[in-house]
A and B are shown apart, each in its own frame.
Chain A
Amino acid sequence: MSTQAPEAPAPEEPRRSSLRSGKGRMADPIFKWVVAACGTIVLVILALMVIRTTTEAWPVFAKEGFFGFLTGEDWTSGSSRTEITGTYGAWPFIYGTLVTATIAIVIALPLAIMVAFYITHLAPRRLAKPLSYTVELLAAVPSVIFGLWGLHWFLPNVLRPFFEFLGNTFGWFFLFEGPIRGVGYLPAGIVLAIMILPIMTAIIREVIVVHPIDQRMAAYALGSTRWEVLRKVVLPASFSGIVAAAMLGLGRALGETIAVLMLIGGSQSWGSSLFSTGSSMASHIAATFGEAGPEARTALMAIGVALFLVTMIVNILARVIVWRLGRMTGDAAV
């Protein structure tokens, strides 16, 4: 008895029973629930934020009308405790957000692609590693440091002479007309570009690095130059990843607050020249929230809702573009 039975089944028994035990059977559903909860919690948080800010901002929308609020150009805060007495038009801030984010992405996207291509394909090995670390280190610099550095050093020493050159040479063009005061849309956009560069570079680098080497080698074998390989082989294949990187960068540029606040010049009007001073939505909220009374706070909540909306629209547009271009190039959409 004692020698027969245990030989074969004994080692198997405990394993089976552990699989069939209550704990074993519960583990899978529990894991499923935990993951599901984690997934939905993002939606719940987002919904709570949207509902809360919209409710708080409602009196302003009720008075100005939704489109009146988005397109109005006059912003005068009232100081009432119970009703809406001021005039609230958020267009100057929406314009400021869009302009600075556009400047940032126009500068940062080509730069990020070049840097990523250099790191992955051209740089000598002992330079590539430190370079990619340095770019990632840039992502860890807090935005207030970018703001301070931009205001105290970069603006007076680098940007201002450059702006004066732009103003003198292209002053006839509406984007570069008017007096140069230092702070304004352009310096804010340029510093934003530097801020979103690391995250975009990191993603684009990852996308490019997985690009199959045989395709590139084939292109080189056909006599392509490096530029042609980048332009015609690597970029089309990495298109969706690059767009994802651009969208992440754009998201940060749209919402970035403190560095923009320090560099944009904080005026409540808007001008078509890139040298004009203005405000972005996030920077205006940050600039006035501390001193705001109940009415002004309601209006700032309304800007928050508008910012959410603008971000959403920009994201949807980006997705539509990817989808359409993706169909044309045969690449899967993001």
Chain B
Amino acid sequence: MRNGRSKLAVLAAIPLLAAACSSGEEESGSAASTDAELSASLTGAGASFPDPLFQDWIYSYSNDVQPGVDINYQSVGSGAGIEQFLEETVDFGSSEEYLGEEDLAVAAESRGCEAVQFPVVFGSVVIAFDNPELDGLVLDAQTIADIYSTEITTFDDPAIAELNPDMDLPSDEIVPVHRSDSSGTTAVFTHYLSTEVESWADEYGEGKELDWASGLVGGQQNDGVAQGISQNPGGMGYLNQSFAQEAGLSVATIVNEDGNPIEPTLDATIAASEEADVPDNFQFAIDDIGGEGYPIAGTNWIFTYTCGYEDATADAIIDFWTWALTDEGAQSVAGELGYAPLGDELTDRVIAELEKTNSENGGGEGDTEEGAEDDSAEGDDAEAGTEEDAEAEEGSDQE
């Protein structure tokens, strides 16, 4: 344990070391890194929105950084991610919404210690079109809300023309497309509209699924929305930035709180996340974004517990997320896939929070060896966690 922790500090302080490890097996064979070789098998479940990124991270990490760590992330959806985390069937949960007080209370009661949550990545939601002429069309929250409540029905509506004085707008009928499945993307999009437009909040509100106005088209997953956009002339829909980027769709420029029209770029998403006011409990939403920030952005959180893990498991959790948040390669992969990494200051705060994982497991330091060797006891681990720490210890002694 002690070895593991000090090693972690080194990893956190010098991301280059991790990069060096990832560059080849040979170099990682030094005395220092054999000490810290972790062996564990982790399971995580939750949001599907960061899944492509998580899978990439997991692949690189367990191939190049810690071959002894096996991570299995299942993108079962945010809601299921929270449930499985609270039922302690997974080592870490992931969601596009933070745990509220009620969830945290349930977690503390069942596990016998607090849960920690921290953001790991941001993503923007873009408004996409199939018509390439519409690339860069300027919209603000009010016009988007009017389009989705079918008050604006054509692209040459005066409200849109006013925002786009230089554009030759087609007179096509707008066909707004939404996600038909319950989705964090919908939650981010409708949260933005509800915060910015009062009439939208009154009539439709926000949520992962909504009772949309009639005449709209629903699409299953991002792909269904993309099909809805491209099969209807005048189709328009909201999508994850990463998906729209891959599908090569035209995207709208959105007017933010300061009145600046912002293109949905990676930099604009990072700027938005820096504009956001993140409290110490990490329960926040990216609202009222001004400056250079793109205004429709969501966050992905990871949840862990402060007790009840095998030491090896806890070390692996902390090491993996520290690596993902600080390693340059890992962060640039995030950028390539259209996800915005955390800013420097936020990263430090998140790592401080992350290291609270298993910190309440008092006395766990004693039998490090045993815990470290014993990585097959995943299932028992979760069960032991529901009891007091002392009993949890006993449980691992018996193994």
Contact = CB atoms under 8 A, between A and B. Distances in A.
Interface of A: 74-77, 80-82, 151-152, 155-156, 160, 178-179, 181-183, 261-262, 264-269, 271, 276-277, 279, 286-294, 296-297
Given A276-B214, A290-B76, A152 B227 contact: yes
Nearest 7 A/B pairs, CB to CB: A266-B180, A290-B77, A266-B218, A291-B182, A288-B182, A287-B181, A291-B79
A290 B80 contact: yes
Given A76-B211, A160-B231, A268-B211, A292 B220 contact: no
Interface of B: 48, 76-80, 82-83, 102-103, 106, 175, 179-184, 207-212, 214-220, 224, 227-228, 231-232
17 contacts: A77-B209, A261-B180, A265-B217, A266-B179, A266-B218, A266-B219, A267-B214, A268-B210, A269-B212, A277-B217, A277-B218, A286-B181, A287-B180, A287-B181, A290-B48, A296-B79, A297-B83
Contact of A279 (B77, B175, B180, B224): B180
Contacts of B209: 77, 268, 287-288, 291
A81 B231 contact: no
B209 to A, nearest CB: 6
B77 A291 contact: yes
Nearest to B175: A181
B220 A261 contact: yes
Contact of B220 (A179, A287, A297): A287
A182 B79 contact: no
Q: Which of A80, A261, A268, A291 has the most CB of B within 10 A?
A: A291
Nearest to A271: B214
Contacts of B102: 80-82
Contacts of A269: 211-212, 214
Name A's interface SS: loop
Contacts of B215: 178-179, 181
Contact of A183 (B82, B179, B182, B228): B228
A130 B139 CA distance: 57
Contact of A294 (B48, B83, B181, B216): B83
Nearest to A180: B232
A180 to B, nearest CB: 9
Given A81-B103, A182-B231, A287 B216 contact: no
B103 to A, nearest CB: 7
Given A183-B217, A269-B214, A289-B182, 15 more contacts: A74-B211, A82-B102, A151-B224, A179-B215, A181-B175, A183-B228, A262-B224, A266-B218, A267-B214, A268-B210, A276-B214, A288-B208, A290-B181, A291-B181, A294-B83
A75 B217 contact: no
A52 to B, nearest CB: 17
A262 to B, nearest CB: 5
B173 to A, nearest CB: 8
A118 B325 CA distance: 65
B232 A182 contact: yes
Q: Which of B179, B182, B208, B219 has the most CB of A within 10 A?
A: B182
A261 B183 CA distance: 14
A36 to B, nearest CB: 36
Contacts of A156: 231
Contacts of A75: 211
A291 B217 contact: no
A80 B100 CA distance: 11
A233 B212 CA distance: 52
A181 B232 contact: yes
A262 B103 CA distance: 32
A283 to B, nearest CB: 8
B1 to A, nearest CB: 35
A310 B103 CA distance: 35
B232 to A, nearest CB: 6
B212 A268 contact: yes
Nearest to A263: B220
Contacts of A293: 79, 82-83
A183 B218 contact: yes
B323 to A, nearest CB: 28
